[in-house]
Amino acid sequence: MSRLSALSIDALPSDLKAIMTAGEDIMGFTPNDGLIMARSPLMLKAFLGLVQSIYQPSALDNDLKKLLGLMTSSASGCQYCQAHTQYGALKHGITEQKVAAIWEYQSSELFSPAEREALDVARNAALVPNAVTDEQFTRLKNHFSEVQIVEIVAVISLFGFLNRWNATFITDIEAAPAMASTKFSSMGK
């Protein structure tokens, strides 16, 4: 049970209700972490701006962004964000096999060499203290432009915030992401 309850969307002022409804339209459900954050309207609005800037079409492929969020959340152990990123990856068209193989990315043929390098950085950046090495960063530069690297680190950092937010609040997982998470748990992943 969440340490702070999610506010009712119906109890929100119209501007925040519009934000949360837009989130529901994109995600397929109303995210409880946003309904907790809605207690601070300025924070929720600023956070939405950050999320939109990271997930807008850009130099970095959105499939990779989804995988980076999944790896960061998996490495940090945030169950809420793992469920969300598994669900989001599937909804975005990433195969179940690839999502299930996230921890085998270094040896799985499902992942490209570029994805492997980015996921190495995501895994090690999620650790405390940060364990990204100079060698890993050099290998990342062999596959990605500086703009793409900034975007990679932005996704990792976004989930660093979300992982800590949701793990601290023990945010209740919504039905759709919970079903995705249960599917992967039953697969032993």
Within the chain, which residue ranges are assigned CATH 1.20.5.810?
9-55
Specify the pTM. 0.95
Per DSSP, the chain holds a count of helices (H) and strands (E) of 10, 0
Residues 138-186 have pLDDT tens digits of 999 999 999 999 999 999 999 999 999 999 999 999 999 999 999 888 6
Residue whose pair of structure tokens reads 């921890």 in the numeric block: 103
Q: Write down the CATH superfamily of domain 9-55.
A: AhpD-like (1.20.5.810)
Tokens of 107: 């040896």
pLDDT tens by residue, the chain, 189 residues: 999 999 999 999 999 999 999 989 889 999 999 999 999 999 999 999 999 999 999 999 999 999 999 999 999 999 999 999 999 999 999 999 999 999 999 999 999 999 999 999 999 999 999 999 999 999 999 999 999 999 999 999 999 999 999 999 999 999 999 999 998 886 655
- Angle, CA of 98, 177 and 87, to the nearest 5°: 30
Calpha distance 37→58 (Å, rounded): 27
Name the nearest CA neighbour of 142 among 101, 163, 112. 112
Which CATH number is 62-186's, of 3.40.50.2300, 3.40.50.150, 3.40.50.300, 1.20.1290.10?
Answer: 1.20.1290.10
